[in-house]
A and B are shown apart, each in its own frame.
Chain A
Amino acid sequence: MKKNIRPKLYTLSTCMHCRATKRFLKEHGIEYDFVDVDKLDGREKEEVLSEVKSISGGVRFPTIVIGSKVIVGFYEDKLKKALGI
């Protein structure tokens, strides 16, 4: 795995694709940061949503940031490539 690239995930706790992404990273022993946007409220939720929008141009989940790469959706092949695994 490439060093110093800790994925940042924007997820929904209820979303199957988001859960699958987290599971995939765990299975590969990769540590990550995440925020379950559906668990936020009020201003915080709005702020994080506009953050997601500024990253990928829309509010879709999971939105995954790995270094300078952005992946929207659970694509195993894209994730592996971005993580160098």
Chain B
Amino acid sequence: MRTISDMFAEMKKIADEEGYQFNPDSIQLNDILDGLWENEHRYGYPSCPCRIAKGVLADDMDMICPCNYRDADVEEYGCCLCVLYVSDDWATRKHDPIPERRPQEYYEKGYPAILEQKGAGGGDMVEVYRCTVCGYLCGREEPPDLCPICRAKKERFEKFDKIY
């Protein structure tokens, strides 16, 4: 099992590459990392420390850090739910708790059940985006700012029509 500092070093490497910033308050940052590591330790994966995990990988898949909700929250509220990742203009923002973006029904039914339910009818799922540079595919509300594989910009993504 990696140590907390190993874990943070790995996270920091990716965050630096992708242009993400961590909470500048070191007390808060340490608290969050401590919680994240605790989750990794007991579940085997770094489930979001400020959300209740089921402890079953498939059910918690969307809230393994960095969770599916981070980018939209950093963009809209200036931080993710745990305040681990913050926006460039974080210092000038109001720091009230932000609302939970993960739908409440996920907590009751788990992530796979919801995907199945949405996917069954087809079309009703999140969009699938394709990086036109390297072909990377992702299913989310908006394409990522940077392609995690080849670092192409958001504009290089196109909607991908699912083939069933």
Contacts and interface: CB of A to CB of B under 8 A. Distances in A.
- Sorting the interface of chain A by its residue count into under 10, 10 to 19, 20 to 34 or 35 or more gives 20 to 34
B100 A16 contact: no
B49 A59 contact: no
Given A59-B52, A73-B97, A74-B97, A15 B35 contact: yes
A16 B38 contact: no
B97 A17 contact: yes
Given A38-B53, A58-B104, A15 B82 contact: yes
B32 interface: yes
A82 to B, nearest CB: 15
Contacts of B82: 15-17
Interface residues of B, number: 20
Main secondary structure on chain A at its contact with chain B?
Answer: loop
Interface of A: 12-20, 37-38, 49, 53, 57-61, 73-75
Given A14-B39, A58-B100, A75-B97, 19 more contacts: A12-B50, A13-B35, A13-B38, A14-B34, A14-B35, A14-B38, A16-B28, A16-B32, A16-B82, A17-B97, A19-B31, A38-B52, A38-B53, A49-B52, A58-B104, A59-B104, A61-B51, A73-B96, A75-B96
